């Protein structure tokens, strides 16, 4: 028992000695060398405490600023975070705080959102709508070179979010779900899906939602 206790005491002494040594090294690093340079200087020591504190603080701020600017300049990641994210966001957003929510959202989602809002505004709330596929959004009409849509809002749940309470049916559900048999409107995009309507439409009708029952058509 005694031997174990002695051994533990020796171990403890070693640990304490090492810790004292390491903390001394740290003190040397931070205190003694700095003291020798700044704080132990007799002129510095004779200054009032608040002046010493202020000088120490200003020194620390100056060093921190140099380090922060160096990090911002040398690292692409931090440069992006500060310049492109923090500063730019504040600059861009601050003057536009009056813009309504729909305008803010359109600035992020573009023409695709405009299309969804148009469908929402031109269909009744109880409509069951056939919603186009990604290919319909991205394939331009025959007489155009490029589609104005990028198709990022082609997913059903996204369409449901903006068209609610209207019901949305997508291509893979045709003939599978009971809702696909109750379609009241077909979404036409880039001129696609006109063939799903039981009646003829004008050739230059590219984007919108048309009722499956021609009697429900209202002039736009």
Partner 1 sequence: MLTIGIILLYISGWLLIRAVYRDASWMETVGFAFPIGLFVTTLLMWLADWMGLRLTPVLLLSLNVLMTVAGGWVCRHQLQRSLKEYRFHFTLNLNNLLWLLLLALVIYAEASNFLKTVYFPVYDRDSLAGFDTIGFIAAQEHTYRGMSIFDGDYMPQIHQAGSYISYMPMLQLSYAYVYILGAATSKLVPALFFAGFMLGFYGLMRRVTCATASIVGVLGMLMTPEMLSFSSLSNTNVVHACLASAGLLYVCQWYPSHRFEQLMLGCLLLAANCWMRAEGIIFVATALVLVALRGYGQFRQLGRKGIEWKLLLLPLAALLPTLLFQVYAQVEGLTSESILITRPFWDAVKFGDMCSGAWFLSITSTYYGWTFHLFLLVVVLNFILFKKGKATLYVAGALLLAFVLYFVLLYHINYIWDTLDHVMNFSAKRFLFCYVPIAWYYIVSNGIVGQLFHQLDSHINFRRTEV
Site residues, partner 1 (CB under 8 A):
15, 18-19, 22-23, 26-27, 29-31, 34, 39, 53, 56-58, 60-61, 64-65, 68, 75-78, 80-82, 85-87, 89-90, 93-94, 96-97, 101, 104-105, 108-109, 152-153, 155-158, 160-161, 164-165, 167, 172-173, 176-179
Q: What is the Rg, in whole angstroms, of the alpha carbon atoms belonging to the chain? A: 35
Let me know: does 184 contact 213? Beta carbons within 8 Å: yes
Nearer to partner 1, 100 or 219 (CB): 100
SS3 139: coil
Cα(104)–Cα(69) distance, rounded to whole angstroms? Answer: 33
Nearer to partner 1, 37 or 217 (CB): 37
Beta bridge partners of 128: 167
Nearer to partner 1, 151 or 208 (CB): 151
Cα(132)–Cα(207) distance, rounded to whole angstroms? Answer: 11
Nearer to partner 1, 65 or 217 (CB): 65
Per DSSP (E only), the strands in 7-138 are: 128-130
Report cis status (omega within 30 of 0) of the bond before 165: yes
The nearest distance, CB 149 to partner 1, in angstroms, is 15
Nearer to partner 1, 121 or 178 (CB): 178
Rounded to the nearest 10 degrees, what angle do helices 101-122 and 156-163 cross at?
90
The nearest distance, CB 207 to partner 1, in angstroms, is 21
The nearest distance, CB 13 to partner 1, in angstroms, is 13
């Amino acid at each position: 028992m005694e031997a174990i206790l002695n051994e533990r005491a020796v171990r403890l002494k070693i640990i304490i000695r090492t810790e004292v040594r390491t903390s001394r090294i740290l003190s040397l690093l931070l205190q003694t060398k700095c003291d020798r340079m700044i704080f132990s200087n007799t002129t510095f020591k004779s200054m009032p405490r608040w002046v010493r504190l202020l000088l120490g603080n200003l020194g620390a701020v100056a060093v921190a600023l140099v380090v922060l600017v160096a990090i911002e300049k040398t690292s692409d990641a931090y440069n992006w975070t500060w310049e492109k994210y923090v500063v730019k966001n504040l600059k861009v957003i601050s003057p536009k705080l009056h813009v309504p929510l729909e305008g803010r959202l359109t600035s992020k989602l573009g023409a695709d959102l405009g299309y969804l809002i148009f469908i929402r505004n031109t269909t009744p709330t109880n409509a069951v709508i056939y919603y186009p596929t990604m290919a319909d959004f991205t394939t331009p009409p025959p007489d155009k070179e490029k589609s104005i849509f990028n198709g990022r809002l082609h997913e059903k749940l996204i369409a449901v979010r903006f068209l609610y309470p209207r019901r949305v049916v997508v291509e893979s559900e045709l003939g599978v779900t009971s809702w696909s048999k109750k379609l009241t409107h077909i979404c036409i995009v880039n001129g696609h899906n006109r063939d799903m309507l039981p009646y003829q439409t004008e050739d230059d009708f590219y984007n919108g939602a048309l009722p499956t029952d021609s009697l429900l058509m209202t002039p736009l």
